[in-house]
């Protein structure tokens, strides 16, 4: 993050002095108590061993942690089946009739799935996947809408010891292909189409393009929208043919605690996404633990709803693994929040009496824009805990959430974590922690996080720096798929001497020692809580025949947190004036959308003659960010040609 940006963020935050202590009523019934912090500090491994007892192990571990930095093994020697933990054991405990999933389709259809149903569906899917040749250690790619089959597919993989690699439904064929190739996936699970804002959109056409020429042997296709699809005999199999008729009996095998569970790709600072690898025992332990304490989840009582998409880590940990390991009753909603009307979420809260609602700041800001009279029309009195994730939440949005949705009666848990951390790391404990609007407060019991300066020295209260994790944690990533060097380089080289995990986020302590997250310090943007690297978008832009060079920055955006602003230099013949017109810019925006996906579409593209570069040829994004955010351009003395910035700034004001 640019220095100027960081200090302005710091000064904005230092004016925030409101704090909301938990009510006595909430505190008296909370799952966690204040002594957990000390208990975990005095015996970390003992504390995590207790948390691992939340799960069913077929063989108990003999060592809690084996730490050879930067490689950790948790619950060494233990064996379990993750899917058994998420379905069968609840049935065996007599809770087969409890609703696991209240599924709500976008067009208004719905489906109720009990734990007994879940066990049967997952078993059938596991049997069908076995028939298709999937076994232990194989990789299965999944690109599906938010339908129950997505959950069944993920758990069926887990049941078989196969790794799933879920790819967000909005990603382009090219992005899906790259992920299939990197993981050498054998089977792809997809659907005919998906509902987007009330209309079916094709899906299989895109996935067909993606699997062409890859290692994919079979494509399992769920019928969701009754869309006509191209079909390849011998490769494509309908879900209803393969799964519906399969046996609903399946004996789960036990796998080592460190057996890989899934790969999930996320943007790094280069154009190539990283396949983040997670394993079984530690991941499930911390997912179940955090879901239990951070949301104060009460099995059989709470109705939980996480609004994330299953294609992101939040959907993995807080729709599939955490809640289902805890026997939760949850809502899964297929569609967009304004289909068919802007009150859809509140209608669903009211319909299912949702008590825990976990969402993203960008959506809260969107709700604010739509107006408080919309949620006011619904009965939201069932709500008990509200959560946010994905990006720093600004105090205004936090207060709006508290007042208009929580009616000043629900603790808000702002949860900081990453694809790499697997589950929540920094968050208040409802019923224990007094919360401040905009702060994730402190590391959870059992987790250790510190803010350090450039040299790795911890900073004091009131000071800012880099967020690091200074002790291993059970759900930490175990590596980057196929690239150990990149794993060491990306996360462990910045503070190698101290052995800290470098999260890539800026943070500060306030005067009371609470942690405030300040956004990424690297070239990763955060658009509506989704990570996209500047390089990824730049590569997409330069792959267009008219573009010679591109520089991309994330500029602050009222709704999406950051918006993508691109500066492009056009090629010789295209650089004529008419090419700078709206048509050409639209073509470039569409091109990025096609290459990566609609979430990566630049908010603004500016055609420029030159880019600001240092004498060594490095693009100075800091200056471009100043332009994109309408700030006075900072120090230009290191530029090879300082007049470049005047040209760009004047072009920016013309384009408005
Ligand atoms: C950001 C999402 C501030 C952060 C779970 C992190 C946050 C990146 C918060 C990870 C939060 C996530 N406050 N920033 N509560 N939660 N972030 O991998 O920059 O999609 O590094 O995981 O999102 O994004 P990812």
CB 389 within 8 A of CB 358: yes
Residues 487 and 546 in one domain: no
Task: Assign residue 619 the CATH number of its domain.
Answer: 3.30.300.30
Question: What pLDDT does residue 578 have?
Answer: 57
The average confidence (pLDDT) of the chain is 93
> Would residue 393 count as lying in a domain?
yes
591 is in an annotated binding site: no
Residues 583 and 456 in one domain: no
Give the least confident one: 2-6, 278-282, 497-501.
2-6
Nearest residue (CA) to ligand 1, atom 23: 390
> Would residue 567 count as lying in a domain?
yes
Residues 497 and 550 in one domain: no
Nearest residue (CA) to ligand 1, atom 1: 391
Mean pLDDT of 364-379: 96
Nearest residue (CA) to ligand 1, atom 11: 416
544 is in an annotated binding site: yes
Residues 551 and 486 in one domain: no
Residues 473 and 547 in one domain: no
> Would residue 308 count as lying in a domain?
yes
Residue 109 reports pLDDT greater than 70 = yes
Question: Which of 311, 390, 503 to mutate to test ligand 1, by most ligand atoms within 8 A of the CB atom?
Answer: 390
Question: What pLDDT does residue 630 have?
Answer: 84
Nearest-atom index, ligand 1, CA of 266: 18
Cα–Cα distance for residue pair 114/95, rounded to 1 Å: 9
Residues 276 and 310 in one domain: yes
pTM higher than 0.90:
yes
415 is in an annotated binding site: yes
> Would residue 472 count as lying in a domain?
yes
CB 483 within 8 A of CB 489: no
197 is in an annotated binding site: yes
Residue 179 reports pLDDT greater than 70 = yes
Nearest residue (CA) to ligand 1, atom 4: 391
> Would residue 9 count as lying in a domain?
no
Question: What pLDDT does residue 3 have?
Answer: 45
Nearest residue (CA) to ligand 1, atom 6: 418
Tell me which residues have their CB closer than 6 angstroms to ligand 1: 266, 312-314, 389-392, 414-419, 440, 503-505, 517, 520, 526, 531
499 is in an annotated binding site: no
Q: How remote is the CA of residue 364 from the centroid of ligand 1, in Å?
A: 16
Q: In percent, how much of the chain has pLDDT > 90?
A: 82
* Domain end marker among 449, 476, 506: 506
Query: What confidence category does residue 6 fall into, taking pLDDT thresholds of 50, 70 and 90?
Result: very low
* Domain end marker among 506, 537, 566: 506
Q: How remote is the CA of residue 259 from the centroid of ligand 1, in Å?
A: 26
Nearest residue (CA) to ligand 1, atom 13: 392
What ipTM goes with this model?
Answer: 1.00
505 is in an annotated binding site: yes
Q: How remote is the CA of residue 160 from the centroid of ligand 1, in Å?
A: 31
Angle between helices 281-294 and 44-52 (to 10 degrees): 90
Cα–Cα distance for residue pair 372/84, rounded to 1 Å: 43
What pLDDT, in 10s, does the model give residues 264-318?
999 877 778 899 999 999 999 999 999 999 999 999 999 999 999 999 999 999 9
Nearest residue (CA) to ligand 1, atom 25: 418
Question: What pLDDT does residue 224 have?
Answer: 97
Question: What pLDDT does residue 17 have?
Answer: 79
Mean pLDDT of 179-186: 98
In terms of Cβ atoms closer than 10 Å to its own Cβ (0-12, 13-18, 19+), residue 632 is exposed
Question: What pLDDT does residue 139 have?
Answer: 98
Residues 65 and 214 in one domain: yes
Task: Assign residue 382 the CATH number of its domain.
Answer: 3.40.50.12780
Question: What pLDDT does residue 2 have?
Answer: 44
Our count of domains for the chain comes to 2
Q: How remote is the CA of residue 282 from the centroid of ligand 1, in Å?
A: 20
Cα–Cα distance for residue pair 115/327, rounded to 1 Å: 8
> Would residue 13 count as lying in a domain?
no
Query: Nearest Cα to 65, choosing from 45, 51, 79?
Result: 45
Helix (H, G, I), strand (E, B) or coil at 462: coil
Q: How remote is the CA of residue 391 from the centroid of ligand 1, in Å?
A: 5
Residues 493 and 537 in one domain: no
What pLDDT, in 10s, does the model give residues 28-66?
999 999 999 999 999 999 999 999 999 999 999 999 999
Question: What pLDDT does residue 243 have?
Answer: 98
Q: How remote is the CA of residue 481 from the centroid of ligand 1, in Å?
A: 21
Cα–Cα distance for residue pair 372/276, rounded to 1 Å: 39
Question: Which of 391, 440, 491 to mutate to test ligand 1, by most ligand atoms within 8 A of the CB atom?
Answer: 391
Beta bridge partners of 219: 188, 236
88 is in an annotated binding site: no
> Would residue 511 count as lying in a domain?
no
Residues 543 and 481 in one domain: no
Question: What pLDDT does residue 4 have?
Answer: 45
Nearest-atom index, ligand 1, CA of 312: 20
Cα–Cα distance for residue pair 630/593, rounded to 1 Å: 25
Mean pLDDT of 199-208: 95
Residues 500 and 597 in one domain: no
Residue 537 reports pLDDT greater than 60 = yes
Residue 572 reports pLDDT greater than 80 = no
Nearest residue (CA) to ligand 1, atom 12: 390
> Would residue 79 count as lying in a domain?
yes
Question: Which of 363, 418, 530 to mutate to test ligand 1, by most ligand atoms within 8 A of the CB atom?
Answer: 418
Residue 400 reports pLDDT greater than 70 = yes
Nearest residue (CA) to ligand 1, atom 7: 391
Residue 445 reports pLDDT greater than 50 = yes
Query: What confidence category does residue 579 fall into, taking pLDDT thresholds of 50, 70 and 90?
Result: low
Q: How remote is the CA of residue 548 from the centroid of ligand 1, in Å?
A: 33
Distance linking the first and last C-alpha atoms of the chain: 25
Q: In percent, how much of the chain has pLDDT > 70?
A: 95
* Domain end marker among 506, 540, 571: 506
What pLDDT, in 10s, does the model give residues 220-256?
999 999 999 999 999 999 999 999 999 999 999 999 9
Query: Nearest Cα to 168, choosing from 198, 207, 197, 135?
Result: 207
Q: How remote is the CA of residue 389 from the centroid of ligand 1, in Å?
A: 7
Residues 483 and 622 in one domain: no
417 is in an annotated binding site: yes
Query: What confidence category does residue 654 fall into, taking pLDDT thresholds of 50, 70 and 90?
Result: low
Nearest residue (CA) to ligand 1, atom 10: 418
What pLDDT, in 10s, does the model give residues 456-486?
999 999 999 999 999 999 999 999 999 999 9
Residues 467 and 614 in one domain: no
Question: Which of 362, 531, 533 to mutate to test ligand 1, by most ligand atoms within 8 A of the CB atom?
Answer: 531
- Domain containing residue 385: 24-506
Query: What confidence category does residue 580 fall into, taking pLDDT thresholds of 50, 70 and 90?
Result: low
Give the least confident one: 144-153, 170-179, 200-209, 617-626.
617-626
Q: How remote is the CA of residue 301 from the centroid of ligand 1, in Å?
A: 29
Helix (H, G, I), strand (E, B) or coil at 342: coil
Virtual torsion, Cα 78, 83, 87, 91, nearest 10 deg: -50
Question: Which of 363, 417, 464 to mutate to test ligand 1, by most ligand atoms within 8 A of the CB atom?
Answer: 417
Nearest-atom index, ligand 1, CA of 427: 15
196 is in an annotated binding site: yes
Residue 13 reports pLDDT greater than 80 = no
């Amino acid at each position: 993050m640019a220095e100027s940006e960081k200090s302005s963020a710091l000064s904005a935050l230092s004016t925030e002095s409101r704090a909301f202590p938990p009510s006595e009523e909430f505190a008296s019934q909370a799952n966690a108590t204040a002594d957990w912090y000390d208990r975990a500090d005095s015996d970390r491994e003992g504390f995590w061993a207790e948390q691992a007892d939340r799960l069913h192990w077929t063989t108990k571990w003999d060592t809690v942690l084996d730490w050879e930095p930067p490689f950790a093994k948790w619950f060494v020697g233990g064996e379990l089946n993750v899917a058994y933990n998420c379905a069968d054991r609840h049935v065996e405990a007599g809770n087969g009739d409890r609703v696991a999933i209240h599924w709500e389709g976008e067009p208004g259809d719905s489906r109720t799935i009990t734990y007994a149903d879940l066990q049967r569906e997952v078993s059938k899917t596991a049997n069908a996947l076995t028939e298709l040749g999937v076994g232990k250690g194989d990789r299965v790619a999944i690109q599906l809408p938010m339908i129950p089959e997505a959950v069944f597919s993920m758990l069926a993989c887990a049941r078989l010891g196969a790794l799933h690699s879920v790819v967000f439904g909005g990603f382009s064929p090219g992005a899906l292909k790259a992920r299939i190739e990197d993981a050498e996936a054998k089977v792809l699970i997809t659907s005919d189409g998906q509902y987007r804002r009330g209309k079916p959109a094709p899906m299989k056409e895109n996935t067909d393009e993606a699997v062409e020429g890859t290692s994919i042997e079979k494509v399992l296709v769920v019928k969701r929208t009754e869309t006509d699809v191209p079909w390849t005999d011998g490769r494509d199999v309908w879900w209803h043919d393969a799964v519906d008729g399969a046996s609903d009996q399946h004996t789960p095998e036990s796998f080592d605690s460190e057996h890989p569970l899934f790969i999930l790709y996320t943007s790094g600072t280069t154009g190539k996404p990283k396949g983040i690898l997670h394993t079984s025992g530690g991941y499930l332990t911390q997912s179940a633990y955090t879901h239990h304490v951070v949301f104060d989840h009460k099995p059989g009582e709470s109705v939980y709803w996480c609004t994330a998409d299953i294609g992101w880590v939040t959907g993995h940990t807080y729709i599939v693994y955490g809640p289902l390991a805890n026997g939760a009753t949850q809502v899964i909603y297929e569609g967009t929040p304004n289909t068919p009307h802007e009150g859809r979420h509140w209608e669903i809260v009211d319909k299912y009496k949702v008590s825990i609602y976990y969402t993203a700041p960008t959506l809260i800001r969107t709700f604010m824009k739509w107006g408080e009279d919309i949620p006011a029309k619904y009965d939201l009195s069932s709500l008990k805990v509200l959560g946010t994730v994905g990006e720093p939440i600004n105090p205004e949005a936090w207060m709006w959430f508290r007042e208009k949705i929580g009616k000043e009666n629900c603790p808000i848990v702002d949860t900081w974590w990453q694809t790499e951390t697997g589950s929540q790391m920094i968050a208040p404990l409802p019923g224990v922690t007094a919360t401040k609007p905009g702060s994730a407060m402190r590391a959870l019991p059992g987790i250790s996080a510190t803010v350090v300066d450039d040299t790795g020295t911890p900073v004091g209260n009131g000071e800012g720096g880099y967020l690091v994790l200074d002790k291993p944690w059970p759900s930490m990533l175990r590596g980057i798929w196929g690239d150990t060097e990149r794993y060491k380089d990306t996360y462990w080289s910045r503070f190698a001497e101290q052995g800290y995990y470098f999260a890539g986020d800026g943070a500060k302590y306030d005067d009371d020692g609470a942690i405030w997250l300040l956004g990424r310090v690297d070239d990763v943007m955060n658009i509506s809580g989704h990570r996209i690297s500047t390089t990824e978008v730049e590569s997409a832009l330069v792959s267009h025949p008219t573009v010679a060079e591109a520089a991309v920055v994330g500029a602050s955006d009222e709704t999406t947190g950051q918006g993508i602003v691109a500066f492009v230099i056009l090629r010789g013949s295209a650089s004529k004036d008419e090419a700078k017109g709206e048509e050409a810019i639209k073509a470039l925006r569409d091109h990025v959308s096609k290459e990566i996906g609609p979430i990566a579409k630049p908010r603004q593209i500016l055609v420029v003659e030159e880019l600001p570069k240092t004498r060594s040829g490095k693009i100075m994004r800091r200056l471009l960010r100043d332009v994109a955010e309408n700030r006075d351009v900072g120090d230009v003395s290191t530029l090879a040609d300082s007049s470049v910035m005047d040209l760009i700034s004047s072009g920016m004001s013309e384009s408005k």
